[in-house]
Structure 1
Amino acid sequence: MADHKADGMWDLIVTPWHLDEHIPAFPIPAAATQVGFPALPAGTVPARMSLLHQAARDAVTLAARPLVLSGDCPTSRAAVAGLQRRHRDLAVLWLDAHGDFNSPAISTSGYIGGMALAMLTGRTPGLFGDTLALSPIPDTSVVLADARDLDPAERDALTASRVRRVPADPVEIASALNQLGDVPVYLHLDIDVIDGAQLPGARFPSGPGPSLGQIEECLAAACATADIAAAYLACAWLPGHAGDQTSRQTMTRLTTALGAGLEWPDTWPGKHRIG
């Protein structure tokens, strides 16, 4: 279907934060570009996040084929804004135990991390302002896989939308991607899509779900089917678990399924830093 990058190489980018909070222990692979975490001014959480997202967008813009390792999901808006600087049309494959389809109007908790996909589809106007020049992705260009853990109002919003929902199954995902046509795809994966028993230290485990092996198969199927222009792993572990061996092993397996090989240095941060 797609014109894949011939050498299969990825440009690793690390955004070591969760919302507006730095995660010092976030693991930085060798040869990765780490987006710097500046001293943020006092202000609202969205305003502080916007400064981080502008730096992340610029890093994605410079990368030929970005693979972002992040501590949250909302920084995906920066990744997509960066991609839109060179891709007029873009589709989204979103693998997540949650829908991330809440908005300020329907969220019961107000947690911004639960609004990330709603942000990409234009459902959170005014939350951040237009600092990224992000264009909304049409619902018809979004495939949401798994999403087994939804709030009631969020479920209703998804039902009323035209987002295509599929199980975390490689055949179903490949079929849905084929129906999107020949368009570059942004692939987003939140690690909590994996069965909670396999994710010690996850911030938001969601109980029984697909195994790590099944998710690896989903990623491989997506790469074999579509033109994956960029990928994003939301590695939302509790801060004390972000850099432990189990977390790094999970990240390594997931990136390997995408065709990227991670090497972990004995010391962090990575070789390059911007911002």
Structure 2
Amino acid sequence: MAIILVPYHLDERLPDRDLPLPPHLDVTAVTEDLPGGDVWGRLGSLYTSVSREVARAARTGSVPVVVSGDCTVSLATMAGLQQAGIDPGIVWFDAHGDVQTLETTASGYVGGMPLRIIVGYRPELISQRIGLRPIAEDRAVLVDARDLDPPEADYLSSAAVRRSGVADLTGETLPPGPLVLHLDLDVIDSGELAGLRFPVPGGPTADDVLAAARRVLDTGRVAAIDVACTWHPGGADPTGLRARLLAELTAR
């Protein structure tokens, strides 16, 4: 297993203590002097480096674990596996849909779009820059997504993206072939995991999410793990849950 740390929320550099990985791990940190220009160009520069590290690890037979402060790094994880000759589907744990577009978003938040980009939305924005090929919608499984904006709900009502609850996720729910296991930790109930940027109540427990992730891992088909630590920078971890989650997800 290769641990790749990307200490950013989008193009914002995060304090190192925000991503509390176990100290014994051999970690490759990816940082860049990002260029000027728009967010897509800046992310394209960063994700080119991330995808290179993912591809390097995958070519050695390792399972890359990419830990970052947002979900968009998943684009680089997918691109890196593809560069290594792996054609994965994706299992996307998230309290949100992440299937907004520039045309539908009310906030303009780029971090609400990565799953939609992975299944083919506007490749000229960033996919072409980092060598990401889109995957078919039915090779993506969206897990939980209890907080959807109306345009996201409209899209998902007719899209071939698969849907599952956390408790219902089984090997039979998953697409065939190799997989990326993507975990936005805000899928966990916001009453249990403090300090989230986009908290959503009424979700599963941390233990329920970890159990579902293990069921995916137990298929033996996970080619990479992508962990998004989507909490506010500089926040405390009074219960130690953040550190425990990262320890469990990097122990496999």
Residues 155-197 of structure 1: CA deviation (Å, up to 9, x unaligned): 111111100001111x4333202xx23x110000001000000
* Pairwise CA distance, 1:140: 1.1
Shift in CA distance, 137/43, structure 1 to aligned 2, threshold 3 Å: same
**Contact 1:166–1:173 (CA under 8 A) maintained in structure 2:** no
| 2:223 aligned with 1:229 | yes
2:171 to 171, 174, 178: 174
Shift in CA distance, 35/136, structure 1 to aligned 2, threshold 3 Å: same
1:91 to 89, 92, 107: 89
2:245 to 250, 253, 269: 253
Shift in CA distance, 196/96, structure 1 to aligned 2, threshold 3 Å: same
Matches within 5 A, 1:127-142: 127-128=125-126, 130-142=128-140
* Pairwise CA distance, 1:254: 5.0
Matches within 5 A, 1:202-221: 202-221=196-215
Q: Which residue of 2 aligns with 1:163?
A: 161
Q: Which residue of 2 aligns with 1:15?
A: 6
| 2:194 aligned with 1:200 | yes
User: One-letter code of the match for 2:66?
Assistant: V
Which structure 2 segments of 5+ residues have no match? none
Mapped partners of 1:148, 1:41: distance in 2: 36
- RMSD, matched Cα: 1.8
Q: Which residue of 2 aligns with 1:3?
A: none
Mapped partners of 1:73, 1:247: distance in 2: 24
Could you say what secondary structure the match of 2:170 adopts?
helix
* Pairwise CA distance, 1:200: 1.1
Q: Which residue of 1 aligns with 2:30?
A: 35
Could you say what secondary structure the match of 1:53 adopts?
helix
**Contact 2:19–2:229 (CA under 8 A) maintained in structure 1:** no
TM-score by length of 2: 0.91
1:57 to 47, 51, 55: 51
Mapped partners of 2:247, 2:139: distance in 1: 24
Shift in CA distance, 255/160, structure 1 to aligned 2, threshold 3 Å: farther
Shift in CA distance, 173/17, structure 1 to aligned 2, threshold 3 Å: same
Could you say what secondary structure the match of 1:143 adopts?
strand
Report runs of 4+ in structure 1 exceeding 6 Å deviation. none
Mapped partners of 1:47, 1:247: distance in 2: 38
The count of aligned residue pairs is: 244
* Pairwise CA distance, 1:150: 0.5
Percent identity, please: 38
2:69 to 64, 68, 71: 71
Mapped partners of 1:251, 1:92: distance in 2: 25
Q: Which residue of 2 aligns with 1:184?
A: 178
Which structure 1 segments of 5+ residues have no match? 1-9, 262-275
Shift in CA distance, 103/251, structure 1 to aligned 2, threshold 3 Å: farther
**Contact 1:99–1:154 (CA under 8 A) maintained in structure 2:** yes
Could you say what secondary structure the match of 1:68 adopts?
strand
* Pairwise CA distance, 1:91: 0.9
* Pairwise CA distance, 1:109: 1.3
**Contact 1:87–1:184 (CA under 8 A) maintained in structure 2:** no
Could you say what secondary structure the match of 1:118 adopts?
helix
